[in-house]
Chain A
Amino acid sequence: MQTSTSSMPLPKRLIGFFAVTIALTAAVAVLGIILGMVGSFVSNGGGGVTWTFLSEFPRNNNTEGGIWPALAGTTLLVLLMTILGVPVGTATAIYLTEFAKQDSWFARSVRFAVNTLAGVPSIVFGLFGVGFFIQFMGNGIDGWLGTSSFGDGSLLWSAATLAVLTLPVVIVAVEEALRAVPRDLREASLALGATRWQTIVKVVVPNAVTGILTGSILAVGRGAGEVAAILFVGVTYSSESIPSAVTEKFMHLGYHLFVLSTQSPDVDLTLPLQYATTLVLLGLTFLLNLTAILIRSRLRKR
């Protein structure tokens, strides 16, 4: 779409060149920063990521050894989070696409709430975890059952907090997938005499399974890297064992990195460990996000 640039006076052509170049520079700069970051982690931490690093417990006050409990804790956390959050997110998305009249005030408020939830700072979710899950629900359950294990930070409450935090991620992804299911399929099903509920359960949802998967993966990617929200809801800096009950505290990759890089007595000593941990954490979230992006782009093409 090249127009007759050459007929313009020189200063204008210069401005034009500058205008395009500055946009290009910005894009290149952002890409450069990303590549520089990843490059620095790979070159400094690549050698540290070995099988023993991944499979050993940390030793000597987190200055030696591996990250196994952090890896396991993160995995358990995101699994529990998925179990708690994805059904709610999926149901909300089904409501928004299948039931709701788009301009009803309830649908609009749900949408507004989802957008708001996405914008709430993660540290506020952490406070919410303390105020609601630990203080209110945990102490409530303890008082009711006569136990003493719920009124403190734990895997369960952290997973619940993260489930609320990642709710918008799931809803947006699943909604997009449900909307991608062709209208013809719905109409064909209804024309054959199926009820609306049967259509949703047997036609719409099976066709949107990849979308639900994408939503879960994106949520897991977000949850795996989130530290601020779980800081005081159950994460711990050191643990002798892998948690065996949901009421136990757990180690987390992101928090482990935070502890190593800011709270260790000798930060320089553990620098190789920090780089290796960063690389594992970034690799994990990167893989998850990449998978989601690939599934999504396939979905869009369809």
Chain B
Amino acid sequence: MSNPFKQTRKRPGEWIMEWSIRLVASASIVMIFLILLFVMREAATLFVSAEATTEATSTPSAGSNMEPESYNPDAPAEAAASEPDVYNPEAEDPTTTQQQGEPGAPGQFIYASKNPKYPEIYNPDTGLLPEDIDVVAEDQAEVDTTRKTSVLSKLTGDQWQPVGDVPKFGVKPLLIGTLKTTTIAILIGAPLGILAALYVAFFAKRRVREVVKPAIELLAGFPSVVIGFFCLVTVASFIQDITGAPYRLNAVVGGIGLALAVIPIVFSIAEDALSAVPKTLREASLALGSTEWQTAYRVMLPAAAPGVFAAVLLGIGRAFGETMIAIMATGNAPLSSFSPLEPARTVAATIGSEMGEVVWGSEHYGVLFFMGVLLFVFSFGLNAVTELYVKKRLIKKFQGQ
């Protein structure tokens, strides 16, 4: 709505005010750059000063973490022998873990299980799952070489053990976990959101629509901790009852939680797109003798397809970036397993749960920021695709054909 009345004379005070408004308006653009710049700046410690970060990595105060400095590369056998003390399988026992993380110790994350038989515990101090233990001994021989290998080869490893004698920053299990939970969330959330939007846009009577639409949009206002809590206490038990899954918290529970976050987004964008389809299309279809449902599914839905596609893309963006639901409901074990009934650990949840206990400036810190850059770039890409590609197609579809 640009002003048609060209202002020729301006008072100096007003001129200043108008330009300061313009300046403030650029804040969003500036913020995008600042986010990228400063998240990258913190991640850059990884790539720039490899030697400095090696120093920092070994500073965590917890006793076992001091080990790396004392490791003698000439005596791998000795190191291996001392292992059992440090990597005590017992550490996976819920009771031990609870002692370590004294109630409310800052930054300590205890994923206490209600069922001691199946602890969904990922111990941040050892970063180990039971099956990893035997692998560690072999790794000791590589202490020296691992330290010197490039950052990239570290990141592409198969294991995520950020706090250990040989920290491993393989993001593969985290990517698998993210993929797993996001896929489940979209498989559940997208159809529900789109079909509900279809119902509200075409089949519901006006009075029903005026209740249903704001009700579903209210779900968007649910804080993600609340959804996470609901999954933790209610959905997890329900899923375990019907599937008999060995782990109470797993990718399905997390996926359902993420789906609850995805549904309102998919719903409102898809509903917008469906309502934006010109009335003439609908009337033409009905005039040709097709029924309401034929019109809805064969005319309106295809016409709004780019918008619906955008809804799904933004839903994906929400699902992979969601942190609290993922921390609370997925079980948080960095497994490289594609099984939906096993726990998963997403990239966002890893940042959320480990950032609090990491030494600022350390290698681990840099890796977490690097994953932040990945999340940012991915969400930026998704948004760019929806903005530049999908919207253009939508406009073309409705105006040109």
Contacts and interface: CB of A to CB of B under 8 A. Distances in A.
Interface in A248-293: 254-255, 257-259, 261-268, 271, 274, 278, 281-282, 285-286, 288-290, 293
A195 B14 contact: yes
Interface string A1-40: 1111100100000011001101111110111011001001
Nearest to B298: A19
Interface stretch (A46-54, A64-72, A120-128, A142-150): A120-128
B35 A228 contact: no
A127 B223 contact: no
A267 to B, nearest CB: 5
Contacts of B234: 40
Main secondary structure of the interface of A (DSSP, over half): helix
Contact of B328 (A23, A37, A226, A261): A261
B151 to A, nearest CB: 18
A159 interface: no
A190 B3 CA distance: 10
Nearest to B322: A121
A262 B39 CA distance: 28
A113 to B, nearest CB: 4
A227 interface: yes
A115 interface: yes
Nearest to A187: B5
B291 A16 contact: yes
A227 B112 contact: no
A1 B206 CA distance: 14
A83 interface: no
A289 B218 contact: yes
A62 B104 contact: yes
Nearest to B102: A265
A229 B294 CA distance: 45
Contacts of B108: 263
Interface residues of B, number: 109
A25 B198 CA distance: 11
A123 B291 contact: no
Contacts of A222: 221
Contact of B103 (A22, A224, A264, A268): A264
A123 B219 contact: no
A136 B35 CA distance: 12
Contacts of A29: 192, 196
B34 A128 contact: yes
A124 B222 contact: no
Indicate the member of B21, B293, B372 with the most A CB atoms within 10 Å. B293
Interface stretch (B127-135, B337-345, B349-357): B349-357
Given A26-B196, A88-B27, A131-B42, A119 B1 contact: no
B327 A262 contact: yes
B297 interface: yes
Contacts of A109: 29
Contacts of B22: 95, 99
Interface stretch (B76-84, B153-161, B225-233): B225-233
Contacts of A274: 229, 233
A56 B309 CA distance: 49
Contact of A23 (B198, B289, B327): B198
Contact of A123 (B27, B228, B372): B372
B104 A127 contact: no
A216 interface: no
Interface in A86-121: 87-88, 91-92, 94-102, 106, 109-110, 112-117, 119-121
B214 A293 contact: yes
13 contacts: A95-B22, A99-B2, A99-B25, A127-B368, A136-B38, A197-B10, A228-B224, A231-B356, A257-B225, A257-B226, A262-B109, A264-B104, A285-B222
